Amino acid sequence: MVFHSDLDNTLIYSYKHEIGTGKKCVEIYQGREISFMTAHSAELLRRVRAQAVFVPTTTRTVEQYQRIRLGEEPPEYALVCNGGVLLVHGERDAGWYEESRELAAGCQEDLQAVQELLRADGNVDFEIRDIEGLFVFTKSAEPEQTVCRLQEYLEGGRLDVFSNGKKVYAVPKALSKGEAVRRFRRRLQGDAGSGKLGSPIAAGKKGSSFSDSVVVAAGDSRFDISMLEAADVALAEQSLKLEGIQGEHVVYLGEEGIFSDEVLEYIWNIYYSGG
């Protein structure tokens, strides 16, 4: 199995989010503990990682992602910058990034125009960041108003505009998390077939090859919808029920407990507990 998972509010939680007393710090920033996992999720993730190919798939930048500690060793793979950057053993994959830049090339004028609009937006109260030449990020005191202005300008063009709390993003549609999942699937299938990869892809964990592995994805926000739709099995936070995620492969979790616990319990119980 290949397990693509969002991080914030899917596997890990801000110090502002109540997840009980049994928790483990997974991120320190400027000397402060700022992100946590439940102890139960941390243990389940350790077990799942021993069996599956775990791929954090996040909009965090490389620097933001590398602050996180999800176990004794970092995951072999990570898709960061909304899937625009692939890390392999913590190192950037140059070919993947070059392809991402090519996918975003047709959007550069739109991204420049978005930055100009944001500079003129009185609600914007944070620096406007060009992330790796791939997408634009800032914060707004009135994010819904800022997003509406951008959407009106773009008129359903080549960029998607999202808000998450005060954060506002303008991202090329070609660099969605869903497209990253599809690219990663093709990449690993090709590498497995060529014999370039060793365990767990070419040889396969528990004796299975990547070509017959299921792709599971977990996420909690609109950023994750394309990823959930691209997976074979989608584990979605229950608040996404109103978003109209396409497909009969979607399982909604998190109504009765902590979403991260329920995601990892589902994976362990369905795929591995009887193994």
114 and 129 Cβ atoms separated by less than 8 Å: no
What does DSSP say about strands 233-237 and 250-253: parallel, antiparallel, or unpaired?
Answer: parallel
In the chain, residues under CATH classification 3.90.1070.10 are: 104-174
Q: Is the pLDDT of residue 200 over 90?
A: no
Let me know: does 134 contact 87? Beta carbons within 8 Å. Answer: no
Topology of 2-92+176-272 in CATH? Rossmann fold (3.40.50)
| CA distance linking residue 10 with residue 223, whole number of Å | 12
Mean predicted confidence (pLDDT) in 34-42: 97
Cβ atoms of 11 and 37 closer than 8 Å: yes
Handedness of CA 247, 251, 254, 260 (dihedral sign): negative
Do strands 32-38 and 23-29 pair parallel, antiparallel, or not at all (unpaired)? Answer: antiparallel
206-222 pLDDT, tens digit each: 444 555 689 999 999 99
**CATH 3.40.50.1000-classified regions of the chain:** 2-92+176-272
Residue ranges of E strands in 6-92: 13-14, 23-29, 32-38, 53-56, 77-80, 85-88, 91-92
pLDDT band at residue 201 using 50, 70 and 90 as cut-offs: very low
Predicted TM-score of the model (pTM): 0.91
CATH top class, domain 104-174: alpha beta
CA-closest candidate to residue 26, choices 16, 11, 48: 11
Residue 155: count other Cβ atoms within 10 Å of its Cβ.
6
* Phi, psi angles (nearest 5°) of residue 227: -65, -45
pLDDT tens per residue, range 118-161:
999 999 999 999 999 999 999 999 999 999 999 999 987 899 99
What pLDDT shows up at residue 11?
98
Q: What mean pLDDT value characterizes the chain?
A: 92
* pLDDT tens per residue across span 160-193: 999 989 999 999 999 999 999 999 999 988 876 5
**Confidence class for position 273, pLDDT limits 50, 70, 90:** confident
3-state secondary structure 189-207: HHHHHHCCCCCCCCCCHHH
* Lowest mean per-residue pLDDT among 29-38, 106-115, 182-191, 259-268: 182-191
pLDDT recorded at residue 189: 86
- The CA distance from 25 to 248, in Å, is 35
pLDDT at 195: 56
